[in-house]
């Protein structure tokens, strides 16, 4: 399994990636954490809303990705 790296982009946005690709972003929004799949959070596909940042990160990490 590839190592997952998180990088804080701003106070309400975290980028989630592996060493070779961006998996998505987690955005804090009104007391929830929105997992967005894709390299650009402006056009990311919403994976789901979660009560914690950890659950949102895990959703992106475990989400199947197409090749």
Please determine, for residue 67, whether its predicted confidence score (pLDDT) is greater than 50: no
Model pLDDT, residue 3: 86
Mean pLDDT for the chain overall: 91
Q: Which has more pLDDT, 1 or 15?
A: 15
Q: How many helices (H) and strands (E) does the chain have?
A: 1, 5
Q: How confident is the model at residue 64 (pLDDT cuts 50, 70, 90)?
A: low
Q: Residue 44: CB partners within 8 Å, gap ≥ 6? A: 24, 25, 36, 37, 38
Percent of the chain at pLDDT above 90?
84
């Amino acid at each position: 399994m590839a190592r997952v790296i998180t990088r804080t982009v701003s106070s309400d946005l975290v980028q989630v990636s592996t060493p070779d690709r961006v998996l998505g972003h987690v955005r804090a929004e009104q007391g929830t954490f929105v997992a967005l799949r894709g390299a650009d959070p402006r056009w990311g596909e919403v994976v789901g809303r979660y009560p914690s940042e950890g659950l949102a990160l895990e959703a992106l990490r475990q989400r199947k990705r197409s090749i």
